[in-house]
Structure 1
């Protein structure tokens, strides 16, 4: 890997932060749904680096800190000026007074800690300090408010101003929020100091609802979007979608499977594949600076880097629109 092999970067508007077009989502390093062996986790980060990825995203929520620890260990000996790391605030990790043995929030880890919602100024500062301790790094480049769906007032009035202060002091490069819904993310872009939002699953080949709120808000206010969940929990991850695959964490309804297959047919006719198009599609919007994918091991990283490098022609989007398959 040489410097010329590092992926192209896109600037988070009005900040000093630039992200490689493909990012590494480290939720699975926290044993999401099942155990990720330590050697697989380290191999995944190594493969991402070798593939030219320089943006890595984690959070305290992911495996009760395990993701942050593993990602920090994997990046510690890399040149810090070359990569961008983001983490999140809003869930403090505190001692669990009533452990049952295993985390009940989707991660295969011991539950000696528990999550405590906290979007206060003090909670934000404590969370960042703890993240730096777990990663062993001296800086977080981007910090997002994590899933503030039920906490708008405190998140907007306390957490975001606290992050803005740290950004203005140069402690953090960029700030924002990450959620599965788009309506409140649009509010963060319009009404707060957020630079960037992490948009999960709402601007994909199967769901373009962010065209109604987040994307125009970002465009209007000169802000940026990171797209995640672009496979919609799996339905867009294979060349040929099958019955029984997941869509937004549920079994995909037959009409969506049929639509995904129709999109796949058009992709084939244009010399590409459904997952390659799924990765490329969000970046067709001028406000989207990065697509980040969760990757568990070296094989997944190698596949996704190859899909990202697959050239997708503009004519594909034109035909999908003309057939009413995307907006």
Structure 2
């Protein structure tokens, strides 16, 4: 770990100004906000993250969960994962989010991890975390070791010749299915970004994972009102029962009326370079009977764009089975 300046912020505006100023004051300077720190500190110890300044934001007034006027939910960026998972309104109206949060990490980590931090969680690709190995995400232009190396756990959707790393978050998959809005405050003011636009595909710039700019601070996440009559479910498949990242996961939100599916939202984790929403699967479900044939058809459509690597071809079938089972469960 390299030396860094540590400071504490008590006002969002001052935190943003300090981060923006430090980011532009000298070439190569980097600033990171820290709350739970469960990912950032690990990466700093590995010298993957090497900020010149770390700003503690734990004292900012961003730790509340509030109902919005239209019946949705406003979630502060500093709300802890455990608190959010057990919040009564989340459990009642957004069960898929509660289930996703409780399937991630361990109880101790969930007590520390925050909503904002989870949105910005970095990949678990072993080459990204090993500074002795080339990684385009860590050092653009150095190459992607995973393509010819160990890639069993990595992405089969949204990949490029420069990066095949997965987004590791469970929460982000649920938020994608719920069509969340990420509220970001920066030097030019506040902007609201649909979660589908918040994460970026690697393309030619795998080092850019989100639309965040220097000085930007996530302040809230907004969930729209629950769709009338909809039920939701999160299913995670992994190598062991707990404290493990997904090989494949599925977040589904389904409404059935008159014996047919009238509303469908599908997102997948463990298989994409970002939380992977599947409009193909949603289209295959819309207006159809909620049965095994419909679900299997939707699962095939969801994985149709997959490009497996040398060791992770099994994920195609695994993800299809995961999605089919999640859909069957939510309408049971």
TM-score, normalization by structure 2: 0.26
Give the structure with the larger helix fraction: 1
TM-score, normalization by structure 1: 0.26
